[in-house]
Amino acid sequence: MKLHVFGVRGSLPAPSAKNFNTSIYGGNTTCCYLQAGPFRIIFDMGSGARMLGNHLMKKGVIGKNFIFLLTHYHSDHIQGIGFCVPFYIKSNTFFIHGFTPEGRENIDPLRNVVLQALGEQQASPFFPVPHSLLPARKIYNAHNRMFSETFYYLHRNDNYFFISEKDSAETASIERQDLLKITTIPLHHPNGCLGYRIDYGDESFAFCTDNEPLAYPNHQINTICKDVDVIVLDGQYTAEQLSGPTQTYGHGSPELCVDQAIACGAKKLMITHMDPAHDDKNVAPMEVECKTYLAKKKKKTPASVEFAKEGKSWDI
């Protein structure tokens, strides 16, 4: 597996300005791209989705399938969809996964609720191109925001085929290199949020941003992400901030991320979703303090922690 990061900010973009530099960690909102064998997986499409699209076009990734895993529908996680060039290419296919928001369980059953939510963002007068008219082929799946679900993707001739948990017996005869397992993880965040664990061959990766631990590790993360190779967690605020009015905003601190990674036995920890009010001078000390906090724990796992940086790639 290989992870490429195109957006690390939370809440809203934070471009560099006079006396406010974000060039080291980045200023775009959440967007990550994971390559797992033949599978192309996108986590959220904040403003970093424009950079992701440009990257894919430069690499000539055209006429392909993508698995797009949405954590939730807040604007900093979907605002870049309309600016991502691959959505305007008819030969591309996006398998889009999200969840059913509270109160929408029985609304308009003929239209998928994920399409509804994304369509509202791009509806007139808020965006000139309706989501439904983006030329790429789009297939939607809605999951339960309160309970974990598992599903699979099969790779055949550079096409992807969705396999639900109830049909998982079909996966027994599939070659490991052609099978991707995805597990959803309910997170603690206003309006709901899903994390995702990815298993491909012997490698595993978990993306669990926008989760407020409330001073205790999330037991669902502990269980579902047990012994994961790399886990990405939300460390937007300092411990001091999190003890004040930012409580209930749905985010964590780097120290709570370390506690969570220790609790689930993750081998490596990556922290993202930086506060838009924090420039590089603020974030760098937070990363140093976080590394010190982990060292004092004297645990075997996670073996390391680092903050995500926009434009960088990591081997899992």
Q: How many domains does the chain have?
A: 1
What is the span of the domain harbouring residue 73?
2-315
Query: What pLDDT shows up at residue 15?
Result: 95
Query: What pLDDT shows up at residue 235?
Result: 94
Convert the chain into a string of H (helix), E (strand) and C (coil): CEEEEEECECCCCCCCECCECCCCCCCCECEEEEEECCEEEEECCCCCHHHHHHHHHHCCCCCCEEEEECCCCCHHHCCCHHHCHHHHCCCCEEEEEEECCCCCCCCCCCCCHHHHHHHHHCCCCCCCCCHHHCCCEEEEEEECCCCCCEEEEEEECCEEEEECHHHHHHHHHCCHHHEEEEEEEECCCCCCCEEEEEEECCEEEEEECCCCCCCCCCHHHHHHCCCCCEEEEECCCCHHHHCCCCCCCCCCCHHHHHHHHHHHCCCEEEEECECCCCCHHHHHHHHHHHHHHHHHHCCCCCCEEEECCCCCEEEC
Query: What pLDDT shows up at residue 223?
Result: 94
The enclosing domain of 99 has a CATH number of: 3.60.15.10
What pTM does this model have? 0.95
From first to last of its 316 residues, the chain has per-residue pLDDT tens of 999 999 999 999 999 999 999 999 999 999 999 999 999 999 999 999 999 999 999 999 999 999 999 999 999 999 999 999 999 999 999 999 999 888 777 765 546 889 999 999 999 999 999 999 999 999 999 999 999 999 999 999 999 999 999 998 889 989 999 999 999 999 988 899 999 999 999 999 999 999 887 766 778 999 999 999 999 999 999 888 888 777 766 788 999 999 999 999 999 999 999 999 999 999 999 999 999 999 999 999 999 999 999 999 999 8
